Every structure is written in structure tokens, then in C-alpha cells.
């Protein structure tokens, strides 16, 4: 079982070294598909001798499907640049490599480090299971913008592996809010293109429910102050997404009128 690690990047000098180092013990090839970075991403990758390919970004789904088709081996381990394998997950993958009876794909729990302050184990952020180890022919990346996932073909076998995929998200609260503004714009555009509409009351209900669900039902309060920040910003993200959608629809109606 030879594995090609596939990582897509754009200006990831802060994260890519950690990602590469976590992959070296379990993969026979590390391939980085870069979207024409302007920082030191390329320099760092070449220093570690990875296979570095440059390809203009056309969206997460297209970029990931293009990248896996450039890989040498049939088994793909797909990570984002801000992710890394935990030691326990490394050991689980190494154990799989010794088996004769392999599944077609494997999923892991993803554990997120928030602002370099805390590992978030509640708040709707964990276990956040992701399919990341798979045969090339077992499926493909599907979805739109922020919700891409590897879709397994019908009849293909999927198993769960013990150990966490470590996710190093935003370093500061300001960075988190900046991400929320960016992603809510993308999400609202997707809803708008689908013809979705929303009322003022619905916006408040959706954003309030988002906080209540994540903080109380998903036990965000157990993640301390960081859990409160995550749940409040998550609710604000929902508020922004639907408010931006309403704004787009109003402009459309005004233009038509």
C-alpha cells in the first residue's frame, strides 16, 4: 500500500512545514498543488523535496480533483495545508498499510486548535469527521465552494480510523472574524444563485438558534471562553450570511422594478 499525500496550497508559509513533516513517515510521495503562491510556500516545499506543482485556482473541488489525478500512487491521503496527522493517527495509518484486507476509504476525526489557545472538543466543531484516505477510483471531490467533500461511490467500503487530524485554524479573533466575513459572502452568493430568499424574522431566528444549538446542545460551554467566542461568532456568521442574501435579493428586486 503506497500512499501519495496530496495537499493544495495558496500562501501557506505559516502552516505547510508542519503539514509536510507529519506526512513523511506514512507516505511514499508528498504532492503539493499550489495556486501560484506569492509567499515562501514554494521555497519551503522544495526544501523538503516534495513534488511541487503549480496550477491556477478554479475552486476547491476542481483543484482537489486535478491534484489527485497528478498523484503517482492509487492511494491518496488528502490534507489541507493547515492540517497535520497526530501521532495516534499516523500509527493507525501505518497499521492499515500492513493489512491484506483493505477498505476502499477511511475517515478520521478532525480536532481544531483555536487561536493557539485551546483544542476545541465541543461547540459543534468535534469530531468533525472527514474522509481523507482513499483509493483514487473509490470516488471524487464534489460540492460547492466551502462545502467540498470526497464523495464515496455506491458500494465502496468506508471505515473509521482512530486518531485525530489536527487542524490549526485562525491565530487570532480578528482573523476568525475576517474569515467569517469572507465565507459568509461566498455562502450568501451560493444561496442567491439557487434563488433562495429569507425574511428579517427568519434571519434572527436562524442566528439565535445557531448559538443556542452550539453553546448549549453541543456543549460549547465546556470549551471555556474560546467556546463562547466560537459560538457567538458562529451565530454572527449565520446572521451575516442571510443578511447578505437579503441584501442581494433587495438589489435584484430594485433593479427589476
* Residue segments in the chain with a per-residue pLDDT below the cut of 70: 145-146, 257
Helix (H) or strand (E) holding 101: none
Grid cell for residue 82: 493547515
CB environment 124-136: b (16+ within 10 A), e (fewer):
bbbeeebbbbbbe
- Distance of alpha carbon 123 from its chain centroid, rounded? 17
Closest CA to 63 of 132, 145, 137, 3: 145
pTM above 0.85, yes or no: yes
pLDDT tens across 186-210, in order? 999 999 999 999 999 999 999 999 9
Question: What DSSP line would sit under 150-202, residue for residue?
Answer: EEEPTT--EEEEEEEEEEE--SSHHHHHHHHHHHHHHHHHHHHHTT----HHH
Report H helices in the chain: 16-23, 41-47, 60-68, 87-96, 173-193, 200-212, 224-256
d(CA 230, CA 158): 31
Question: Quick one: pLDDT at residue 209?
Answer: 98
| CATH fold for domain 3-168 | Spore Coat Polysaccharide Biosynthesis Protein SpsA; Chain A (3.90.550)
Calculate the CA 1 to chain-centre distance. 25
Q: What is the dihedral of CA 51, 52, 55, 59, to 10 degrees?
A: 80
At residue 4, the pLDDT reads 98
Domain spans, the chain:
3-168, 173-256
Give pLDDT, residue 257: 67
pLDDT at 143: 83
Which candidate, 14, 11, 47, 13, places its Cα nearest to that of 30? Answer: 47
* Residue 256 confidence (pLDDT): 82
Amino acid at each position: 500500500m503506497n500512499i501519495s499525500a496530496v495537499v493544495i496550497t495558496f500562501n501557506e508559509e505559516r502552516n505547510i512545514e508542519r503539514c509536510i513533516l507529519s506526512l513523511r513517515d506514512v507516505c511514499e510521495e508528498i504532492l503539493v498543488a499550489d495556486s501560484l503562491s506569492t509567499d515562501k510556500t514554494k521555497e519551503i516545499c522544495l526544501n523538503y523535496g516534495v513534488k511541487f506543482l503549480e496550477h491556477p485556482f478554479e475552486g476547491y473541488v476542481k483543484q482537489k480533483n486535478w491534484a489527485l489525478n497528478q498523484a503517482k500512487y492509487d492511494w491518496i491521503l488528502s490534507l489541507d495545508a493547515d492540517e497535520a496527522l497526530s501521532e495516534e493517527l499516523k500509527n493507525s495509518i501505518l497499521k492499515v498499510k500492513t493489512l491484506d484486507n483493505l477498505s476502499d476509504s477511511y475517515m478520521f476525526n478532525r480536532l481544531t486548535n483555536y487561536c493557539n489557545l485551546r483544542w476545541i472538543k465541543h461547540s459543534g466543531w468535534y469530531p468533525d469527521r472527514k474522509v481523507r484516505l482513499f483509493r483514487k477510483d473509490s470516488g471524487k471531490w464534489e460540492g460547492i465552494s466551502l462545502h467540498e467533500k470526497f464523495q464515496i461511490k455506491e458500494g465502496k467500503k468506508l471505515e473509521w480510523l482512530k486518531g485525530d487530524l489536527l487542524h490549526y485554524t485562525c491565530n487570532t479573533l480578528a482573523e476568525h472574524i475576517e474569515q467569517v466575513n469572507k465565507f459568509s459572502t461566498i455562502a450568501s452568493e451560493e444561496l442567491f444563485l439557487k434563488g433562495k430568499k429569507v425574511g428579517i424574522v427568519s434571519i434572527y431566528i436562524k442566528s439565535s438558534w445557531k448559538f443556542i444549538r452550539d453553546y448549549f446542545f453541543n456543549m460549547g460551554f465546556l470549551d471555556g471562553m474560546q467556546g463562547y467566542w466560537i459560538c457567538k461568532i458562529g451565530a454572527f456568521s449565520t446572521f451575516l450570511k442571510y443578511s447578505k442574501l437579503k441584501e442581494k435579493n433587495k438589489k435584484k428586486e430594485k433593479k427589476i422594478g
